[in-house]
């Protein structure tokens, strides 16, 4: 079974293709994604990679965590499941 990897402190110019190239040195990359701001489309400085082989993913994590990419020290670890978001409180838009 594969493993999902979190990559933090990415240079804002990083593309999903850059991530795929870096992680493909360790094994088969199923997908790569850079998280972007909804309004501006600008990178938020982190992303995710899914690798098909857990051992290759563990190797990538151990070798790339703390490594330099574009002058920034990467944070690389196994992704945690996303926590459920709390609902926004209801507001009354028709006050007047």
Please tell me the CATH code under which domain 3-78 is placed.
3.30.70.330
pLDDT tens-digit map of 26-69 = 999 999 999 999 999 999 999 999 999 999 999 999 999 999 99
Phi, psi values for residue 34, rounded to 5°: -100, 130
Instruction: State whether residue 34 is helix, strand or coil.
Output: strand
Model's pTM, two decimal places?
A: 0.84
Q: What is the pLDDT of residue 84?
A: 85
DSSP assignments along 42-92, one per residue: -EEEEEEEEES-HHHHHHHHHHHTT-EETTEE-EEEEPPPPPPPPPPPP--
What is the per-residue pLDDT for 88? 73
**pLDDT category, 94, cuts 50, 70, 90?**
low
- Give the model confidence (pLDDT) of 80-93 as tens digits: 988 888 887 766 66
The gap between the terminal CA atoms of the chain, to the nearest Å, is: 57
């Amino acid at each position: 079974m594969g493993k999902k990897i979190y990559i933090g402190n990415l240079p804002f110019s990083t593309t999903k293709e850059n991530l795929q190239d870096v992680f493909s040195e360790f094994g088969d990359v199923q997908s790569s994604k850079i998280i972007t701001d909804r309004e501006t489309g600008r990178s938020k400085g982190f992303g995710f990679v899914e690798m098909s082989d857990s051992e290759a993913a563990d190797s990538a994590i151990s070798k790339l965590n703390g490594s330099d990419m574009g002058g920034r020290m990467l944070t690389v670890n196994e992704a945690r499941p996303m926590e459920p978001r709390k609902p926004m409180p209801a507001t009354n838009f028709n006050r007047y």
